[in-house]
Structure formats: C-alpha cells, structure tokens
Amino acid sequence: MRGSAASPGCARALLAAILLSNGAALSAQVSDEFLEAFSAELDAGVPALELKKGGPVTHVEAAIVINAPSSAIWGVLVACDVAPEYVPNVVDCQSIEVLNDGAAELFIQTVKAALWVTFEHVFRMDYEPHARIIISRVSGPIRRLEATWELVPRADRSVLLTYSLAVDPGIPIPRWFVRQTLKRDLPKVLEAVRQRSMAPAAQAREVR
C-alpha cells in the first residue's frame, strides 16, 4: 500500500475475507422482494446477486439453489480450513476456540493482500445447525461487516442458500471497486459451495 490509497491487491484481499466473515452479530435475511425478483434465475440454477450503495456501506443480497441436503451444505460452510481452496486470496483459516459447547467457534484467517503482504483477522461463527450461520468480527482491519448465511429447504427437497452482507472495508478503496469485486467473486463462491455440497463425499460425510 502506498500513500493513503489501497492497492487493488489489498482491496481484493479484504473482500476475500468478507466472503466468509462479518463485523457484528445479526440475523438479517435477504428480502422477499429480492427472492421474487430473481426467482426465475434461481429456479434455472443461476446464482442471484444484487448490490446497493448506502453511503460508505455496500449492501449485498445473494442466493443460489442447491440440490443437496442441508447437512451437506452446512458441512461445506463450517469447514473454514478448506476455504483457501475456493475463496479468492484466503491463504489459511483455522479454528482457535470452540465456545458454548459447540454453539459457536472462533477462527483466525490469513488473507493474501499482495505477493509479499498478508494480514490476519479473527472472527466468531455462531451456529443454528443446518439453518443459519452468523459470523462476527473479533479483530482485523475491516470497519463494518455484517452478514448471514441461511439455508432454507424447498418443497422439491433442494435448498435455497442465501447470503446477506453490509460492508465498509474501512480503508480508502473506491466503492465502485468494492462492488465490482463482489459482483465478480461472490457468484463464484456460491457456485463452489454448490459443487462441493453436491459431491458424493460431502453428502456422505457426517457433520454436526
């Protein structure tokens, strides 16, 4: 990083951290209006994504339909140690403490900001098994990051996986770049979660 402006590499690294963590516990859900507007895309198997501006904060609603059991999808979402395999710029993610008899967990994640620069941040995941994951920022450079993963069973035995996010990276990244990066990378992450959840090994694995 030079002067007061963040490099594109650093910006992408912060946004990589955003995809699996957040800054304040909440139980926000994507709106019914969003789901209705993108119902055709979701039924066709296309990831849905909408971004809105609100001052320095970017708001995101995203969703995908997955033809796999909730337990298999859940197993992918809580396996932070494999996040580097499919989340851009995440180098490492490890559990550091289990809380409340397994109802919550603390993780430390290492993110690549540039070829020679990395940073770490700690976050907490609160679990409502096979239904919802709320992830709270504990420490790190991101100013505001509020998000929720939610798994909603459908009548055809598929699962609607939704992701809601409000983010202010807290460093001087152009907001258009934040939106552009999320628009490019988040659908890829959703698709990767779908593919991993539908793999026979994921569906056979016992998860909490």
Residue-wise pLDDT tens digits, 129-177: 999 998 777 888 777 777 899 999 999 999 999 999 877 776 666 777 7
Greater model confidence, 191 or 169: 191
pTM above 0.85, yes or no: no
CATH class of this structure's domain 8-204: alpha beta
pLDDT at 7 over 60: no
The pLDDT tens digits for 22-37 are 433 444 678 999 999 9
Confidence band, pLDDT 50/70/90 cuts, at residue 21: low
Domain borders along the chain are 8-204
The strands making up 159-168's β-sheet, listed across from edge to edge, are 48-54, 57-66, 159-168, 144-153, 132-139, 117-128, 104-114, 90-99
Mean pLDDT, the chain, rounded, equals: 82
> Would you mind telling me the total number of residues written for the chain in this entry?
208
For residue 114, the 8-state DSSP code is E
Whether 118 shows a pLDDT value over 90: the answer reads no
Question: What does the pLDDT read at residue 102?
Answer: 93
For residue 198, give both structure tokens: 């539908």
Give the sign of the dihedral formed by CA 150, CA 142, CA 123, CA 203: positive
- Give the number of C-alpha atoms closer than 13 A to the C-alpha of residue 112, restricted to the C-beta side: 10
Token pair belonging to 89: 């710029």
